[in-house]
Amino acid sequence: MGVKRLENYINGEWVEARTDEYVEIINPARMELLCECPMSGKADLDAAVEAAVEAYPEWRNTPPVARARYLHRLIELMEERFNDLSVVQTREHGKTIDESRGETRRGIEMVEVASGIPTTMQGFNLEDIAHGIDEYAIYQPLGVFCCIAPFNFPFMVPLWFLPFAIATGNTFIVKPSPRTPMSQCELFEMLDEVGLPPGVVNMVHGGAEIANGLMEHPDIKGVTFVGSTPVGRHVYKKCGETGKRVIAQAGAKNFIVIMPDAEIDKAMVSLMSSFFGNSGQRCLSGANLLVVGDDRRYREVVDKFVEAAKAIRVGDGLDESVQMGPVQNVESKKRIMGMIEKGIEEGAKLRLDGRKLNLVGDVPEDCFLNPSVFEDVTLEMTIAREEIFGPVASILRAGDLDEAIEMIHEVPYGNAASIFTNNGKWARQFQHDVVAGNIGINVGIVAPMAFFPFGGMKDSFFGVLHGQGRDVVRFFTESKIVIQRWF
Ligand code: NAD
């Protein structure tokens, strides 16, 4: 029996990619081959853009309330298939089934919020800007948009954009990550079933070639990208050259500050989930734990953190008792182990060595790591400055909040930062002064809800308007001003 080969979805149909190049998709918890993903070429991309261009005029003229009805049907299908959708994410990515359920839920919430478009897309007006003259602003769609997606939230990330793009009357193309393409196939099965007109949504599998093709294509109006900082920077630059709107959400190195008065026992569940949830492969993951206080306090926090990390159950994410799955592939594990080596070389103390495996059940070791914890980390060290994107925590110390904030600002990223404290003044100073797009106050993972924009600053974001919420509605529309007078 041959292995299943994924297909592209173009103009309302599943079609074989015009390529001989396929990559194997492997379940990292079991090392079983799941399917093969095509690395599509220019002909596939051109066909998808052509379909999206052709579908646009009629879709744009479909009333917003009628466009939203397709999304209502999509929500129903997503709820019906909730568990199956979550299982696919776990199998292709490795995250625990509970984390996948969280991802599915977040994805549904995006569609729910986008379905409010008859309200959220409204413009505004003022009567009598001068005698007998009225002025109003209307928001209109622009044409074809696309999403270039990362591997780590294979179901949810394209949903930060797709439902808002089509609800506002644009047509859309998704390029999933070639590392985790299956979840998007599930989404497109449902989009197919809701009966959207052909060409309104399209999916082309592939890698950098397709991504660059989308950014270069003259018929694409705007690009949404989520991924690493070097690629995000490249996307921003390229879209500048080709004159496209762009949202580029990029990498991270998030700090969590523990103040002397923080209730560390109550915080611990949130901290574990922040540092080791999704095996550390989240742009909102805690990476640097910054302890403010004297030696005794530092010891207390480090000891409790290490104990909690040691107790995390690691194994196949489909096992409900497992709290952390494998990293997504063998190369990721190698890269993360390289960072652990680097931390040791640069003088940090490895308090918990996650390379020594302790796994639940009988699973192949290829992609697994247990949590690692470094202490005595300083900001000069690579592990404190660079994104590791794996289950590795670095613990640093600061004398007071001012120093902690200065340290946060020395790292080039600005995706998220959290403070744990009972002191309102400290919390307010943190919120006011820290240059990061998502701020947590006694919250470990600052994941904005669908009706708020997804923040990001410095090297974690390139663009002006953000994904989700009001920002993304604005991103997918252009304002037009009308001034009228009747003689
Ligand atoms: P990645 O940058 O390697 O890939 C992202 C996408 O870009 C993929 O679709 C890939 O095929 C494409 N791509 C890769 N190289 C390219 C190139 N040279 N030219 C054009 N396209 C290219 O990222 P990843 O490893 O899939 O995802 C992990 C990264 O994403 C982490 O850095 C993480 O922090 C970040 N991330 C950020 C957010 C956020 O909202 N800020 C959310 C999730 C993930």
Residue from 156, 177, 228 whose mutation best tests the ligand 1 pocket (most atoms within 8 A of CB)? 228
Q: Is the CB of 146 under 6 A from ligand 1?
A: no
Residue 460 has what DSSP assignment?
T
Type of residue numbered 222 = G
Q: Is the CB of 208 under 6 A from ligand 1?
A: yes
Query: Domains in the chain, ordered, with CATH?
Result: 8-250+460-485 (3.40.605.10), 254-441 (3.40.309.10)
| Contact (Cβ atoms closer than 8 angstroms) between residue 308 and residue 440 | no
Q: Is the CB of 287 under 6 A from ligand 1?
A: no
Q: How far is the CA of 235 from the centre of ligand 1 (A)?
A: 10
Measured from the Cα of 175, ligand 1's closest atom is: 9
What pLDDT score does 21 carry?
98
Atom 23 (ligand 1) nearest CA: 227
Q: How far is the CA of 419 from the centre of ligand 1 (A)?
A: 27
Identify the H or E element spanning 131: none
Both structure tokens of 16 = 């074989």
Q: How far is the CA of 269 from the centre of ligand 1 (A)?
A: 28
Q: Is the CB of 413 under 6 A from ligand 1?
A: no
What pLDDT score does 1 carry?
63
Both structure tokens of 437 = 């797009």
What pLDDT score does 370 carry?
98
Q: Is the CB of 284 under 6 A from ligand 1?
A: no
What pLDDT score does 441 carry?
98
| pLDDT < 50 regions, the chain | none
Atom 30 (ligand 1) nearest CA: 227
Q: Is the CB of 212 under 6 A from ligand 1?
A: yes
Q: In which residue are the tokens 């466009």 written?
A: 67
Q: Is the CB of 285 under 6 A from ligand 1?
A: no
Identify the H or E element spanning 85: helix 82-93
How would you class 46 by CB atoms within 10 Å of its CB: exposed for 0-12, middle for 13-18, buried for 19 or more?
A: middle
pLDDT, tens only, 309-321: 999 999 999 999 9
Type of residue numbered 298 = Y
Angle at 32 (CA atoms; ends 29, 34), nearest 5 degrees:
110
| SS3 of residue 219 by DSSP | coil
Q: How far is the CA of 297 from the centre of ligand 1 (A)?
A: 38
Q: How many CA atoms lie within 13 A of 319 on its CB side?
A: 17
CA distance 395 to 250: 23
Angle between helices 401-410 and 424-433 (to 10 degrees): 20
